[in-house]
């Protein structure tokens, strides 16, 4: 976070300022990343605004290769927007539960005591806030990693592994790109050889 924000918060000791500053910084980074994603990956916007060239835009690329690549870019964008939407919904859902917990704290606390353990834990809004904002942030981090690989034109070396919407996505190395060729792996090391640290 911004050091000025931290110093000002330390001076004020107002949690509302801290929460609002965090929300503003998070929203700024999120919207900037969305803009970068759209401008650099969406084929129709790329031609007009992008600053980097992807391999499928090389002059030697055939028309069918270009169309296949544009379809893949659209599929990647669709997947990314789904990840952003789901992650943001989970994050904001956790924030909403926490806000309700703060607003109706005495009532919810009374309900928790009446229900007792272990079922009273379900009404722990602050716990749900931690869990849901953590999962939402995880979605954002995986999206950022996948976006970075796509911006670096490495989407053929990695794959977004997300078998279904109720699982956590992950970016993994594509199996065929990690194959060993000519006795050396892609990183230049010979298999079985250990590095000597000096």
Q: CA-CA distance, 139 to 93, in Å (whole number)?
A: 14
Please, are residues 171 and 83 in contact by the beta-carbon 8 Å criterion?
no
Per-residue CA distances from 38 to 9, 76, 93 (Å): 34, 11, 25
Rg (CA), the chain: 23
Residue 159: its H or E element? strand 158-161
HSE at residue 46, side-chain half, CA atoms within 13 A, is 17
Q: Which residues does 113 contact at the CB level (< 8 Å), separation at least 6?
A: 120
161 is in an annotated binding site: no
Instruction: Quote the tokens at residue 34.
Output: 């969305």
DSSP reduced 3-state for 26: helix
Structure tokens at 192: 């079985």
126 annotated as belonging to a binding site for a ligand: yes
- Annotated binding site for Zn(2+), which residues? 126, 130
Annotated binding site: 126, 130
């Amino acid at each position: 976070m911004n050091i000025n924000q931290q110093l000002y918060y330390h001076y004020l000791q107002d949690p509302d300022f801290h929460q609002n500053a965090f929300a503003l910084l998070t929203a700024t980074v999120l919207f900037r990343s969305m803009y970068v994603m759209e401008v650099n990956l969406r084929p129709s916007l790329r031609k007009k605004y992008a600053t980097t060239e992807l391999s499928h835009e090389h002059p030697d690329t055939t028309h069918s290769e270009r169309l296949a690549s544009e379809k893949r870019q659209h599929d990647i964008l669709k997947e990314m927007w789904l990840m952003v939407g789901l992650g943001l919904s989970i994050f904001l859902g956790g924030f909403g539960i926490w806000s309700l917990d703060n607003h109706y704290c005495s009532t919810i606390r009374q309900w928790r005591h009446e229900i007792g353990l272990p079922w009273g834990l379900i009404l722990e809004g602050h716990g749900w806030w931690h869990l849901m904002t953590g999962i939402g942030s995880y979605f954002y981090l995986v999206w950022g990693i996948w976006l970075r690989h796509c911006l670096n034109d490495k989407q053929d070396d990695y794959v977004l592994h997300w078998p279904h919407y109720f699982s956590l996505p992950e970016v993994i190395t594509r199996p065929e790109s990690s194959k060993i060729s000519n006795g050396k792996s892609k990183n230049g090391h010979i298999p079985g050889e250990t590095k000597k640290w000096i």
